[in-house]
Chain A
Amino acid sequence: MKVKDLLFAIGNVSPEYIEDASPDKEITVRRVSVKWVSLAACLCLVTIIGILAYPKAKPPIEVPPEPPVIETPTDPPIVENPIVPEIEKPYTPPENTPVSSGADITPPAIGGSDPTFSRKYIDEVYNIYICDEIVGREASDKWVNEVFLKLSPEEQEALPNVYMMIVAFDISKEALERKNKELGGDELQQSTIDALYLEDVKEIKRALKNPLALYYDGEIYTFDELRAKRNEDIPSDVLSEYFDFIESVSEENGTLKYDLELIDGARALYGIKI
């Protein structure tokens, strides 16, 4: 089968579907607004209380397919966002994984303006709709207005939004799984739910990292962040490998002609030769 066969076949699907999807048709979607989605990220502040209250005895859970991850060769000092509490369990960094290997990526469509370059986590964990459904819109609104909105943008992005709500409202894994099932099972993948309940925050961050972001030394960095301002904490060989990875994904997506200037600009910022 050729891709054009598929493209033409899509042209012969039910007229009702075509009519229903027409761009000139008004869309009414029950969605969490953009504001809401980003608001959820704020739970950072509440994490302090939440994590303390959160039950620690959970079995080890399988982490979703490993996205590109870079670790320092030696056990790095743990530098956490001040609003994120330290976890009692000592952190053991996983084995070194070069960016270009071990990456199980289904590259999302990327492009010059695509926010996948600016997100730290996978999209699923920005959508707090499922948490809304569990805790109720009123409670969720209150939390967003009184807690989340008072955080800085960096604090809002520090942890996966859904995780913030889980912590703030002490949502159990069972409750999340139940609601996810009720909503058709599409809101969160099981592997995402499992990752949200890992014991170590660093492991949670790593497991839920946007495939196009860089995980290094317990922190996540986005491509947009790295190209906007020089980061002195990350070794240039790590960055070099990361930018190569971004280039390969872009090439695979057929968007390299739009992205190459950005990628080369980032390399130049760090004095990395092409």
Chain B
Amino acid sequence: MEDFRILDLYFDRNESAIEETDKKYGRYCRSISYNILSSHEDAGEVVNDTYLKAWNSIPPSRPDPLKSYLGTITRRLSLNRYEHINAQKRGGRTAVALDELSECISEGEDIGESVALSDSLNRFLGGLSRDKRRIFLRRYFYMCTVSEIARDFNMKESTVAMMLSRMRRKLKMFLEKEGFFV
């Protein structure tokens, strides 16, 4: 079903909106959540929560594209759950991604969800080539492993790892320039 038809179902408060959303984007959302949580059970619950959030926010929202809207909600809910579950023990691909990203920042106060930071990231990503941007987001948005990325992009794992390493370095310099570590 086309996105606009699914959105119409939400606007009509027709519960089949959820069913159609799941048919079209369920797998996508579950894969995002599973990549973060490494648990099918938790991923299933998070995806249900995602649908609930979507149900509560549409209307008035009319997200376009719907896919990335759902993906963003799923990711955020999954990270929240990851933090909750892993307050003591850490593990899995998310922990590795977090460790990698820690190279890009300097220790400091918790700044919470910063619009300015997201804007800066958009500028940073806009300055990358399309392939590099996709690889960066595959790793740090979708939490795909280096080997998964290498397979999809027909590249060597070491090449992907090295590209990510360089991008992290560039991001750190970029954020410094933007004044985030002052």
- Contact residues, B66-118 vs A (CB, 8 A): 67-69, 71-72, 75-76, 79, 83, 95-106, 108-115, 117-118
| Majority-rule SS of A interface residues | loop
- Hey, what's the 0/1 contact readout for A235-257 against B, CB within 8 Å counting as 1? 00000000000000000011100
Residue A92 interfacial (CB < 8 Å): no
Contact B28 A24 (CB under 8 A): yes
- Alpha-carbon distance between A122 and B63 when the two chains are bound, in angstroms: 43
Contact B164 A109 (CB under 8 A): yes
- Of B14-22, B44-52, B54-62, B154-162, the segment with at least 4 beta carbons within 8 Å of chain A is B154-162
Contact A23/B146 with A3-B105, A18-B72, A29-B155 known, Cβ cut-off 8 Å: no
By the criterion of a CB under 8 Å from any partner CB, how many residues of chain A are at the interface? Answer: 51
Q: Name the residue of chain A whose CB is nearest to the CB of B135.
A: A21
Contact A18/B156 with A1-B181, A9-B117, A124-B162 known, Cβ cut-off 8 Å: no
Candidates B69, B76, B104; contact of A8 at CB < 8 Å = B76
Q: Name the residue of chain A whose CB is nearest to the CB of B118.
A: A12
Contact A106 B169 (CB under 8 A): yes
- Alpha-carbon distance between A1 and B105 when the two chains are bound, in angstroms: 7
Contact size range, B:
35 or more
Q: Quote the shortest CB–CB distance from A182 to chain B (angstroms).
A: 14
Q: Name the residue of chain B whose CB is nearest to the CB of A21.
A: B137
Residues from chain A with Cβ under 8 Å of B31 in the complex: 23-24
Contact B180 A1 (CB under 8 A): yes
Contact A34 B154 (CB under 8 A): yes
Candidates B71, B105, B159; contact of A2 at CB < 8 Å = B105
Contact A27/B96 with A1-B105, A13-B121 known, Cβ cut-off 8 Å: no
Contact A27 B134 (CB under 8 A): yes
- Alpha-carbon distance between A23 and B65 when the two chains are bound, in angstroms: 16
Candidates A8, A9, A10, A108; contact of B162 at CB < 8 Å = A108
Contact B158 A1 (CB under 8 A): no
- Of A42-50, A59-67, A112-120, A143-151, the segment with at least 4 beta carbons within 8 Å of chain B is A112-120
- Alpha-carbon distance between A131 and B147 when the two chains are bound, in angstroms: 26
Give 4 A-B pairs besides A1-B106, A20-B137, A27-B134 with Cβ atoms closer than 8 angstroms.
A37-B159, A109-B96, A109-B100, A116-B157
Instruction: Identify the A interface with B (CB < 8 A).
Output: 1-24, 27, 29, 31, 33-34, 37, 106-111, 113-116, 119, 122-124, 126-127, 184, 186, 253-255
The 13 sampled A-B contact pairs (Cβ below 8 Å) are: A1-B181, A2-B108, A5-B112, A8-B113, A9-B121, A12-B118, A17-B125, A23-B31, A27-B152, A31-B155, A34-B156, A116-B157, A116-B162
